[in-house]
Amino acid sequence: MKNIKIFTDGGSRGNPGPSAIGVLILDEEGKELFRLGKQIGTATNNIAEYSAVLEALLWIKNNLIGHDLNLQFYLDSSLVVNQLNGKFKIRNQELKKIIVRIKNLEKEISKKISYFHVAREKNKTADFLVNSAF
């Protein structure tokens, strides 16, 4: 089983405001498989964070399906990590819609998927991708 590391981040200039996402996907040797920084329109910080996870899952579904993978997501938002891991409830209706899409993609991909909180310093590239998209 191959370990794939996925670093995601999202941010908004204002909350809500112009928003962007960053995604970095590495194979188990640390080789870059995918990198993305893009604007997503007006959104909140949390919607941007979730949109980055969604974008990463879509890329994995379209490019890595059929491989025996262990997908390890790293985010610097403890709220999003705890919500994705089912520890915190989601009350916001917009976030619930994105979560449903994420959970459906997780089922389609049917790989081992884990979400981990990391310090902002360990998520520098995804953060850089967000900021360079503005």
Per-residue pLDDT tens over the stretch 16-33: 999 999 999 999 999 999
> How far is CA 2 from its chain centroid?
19
**Do 17 and 133 touch, CB atoms closer than 8 A?**
no
Residue 87 has pLDDT above 80, yes or no: yes
What pLDDT is stored for residue 110 in this prediction? 79
Domain residue ranges in the chain? 2-133
What pLDDT is stored for residue 76 in this prediction? 96
Q: How far is CA 58 from CA 11, 54, 62, 92, 105, in A?
A: 19, 6, 6, 23, 7
Q: What fold is seen in the domain 2-133?
A: Nucleotidyltransferase; domain 5 (3.30.420)
- This prediction has a pTM of 0.96
Residue 13 has pLDDT above 80, yes or no: yes
Between CA 79 and CA 14 the distance in angstroms is: 18
* Residues 51-73 pLDDT 10s: 999 999 999 999 987 778 899 99
Residue 111 has pLDDT above 90, yes or no: no
> How far is CA 85 from its chain centroid?
13
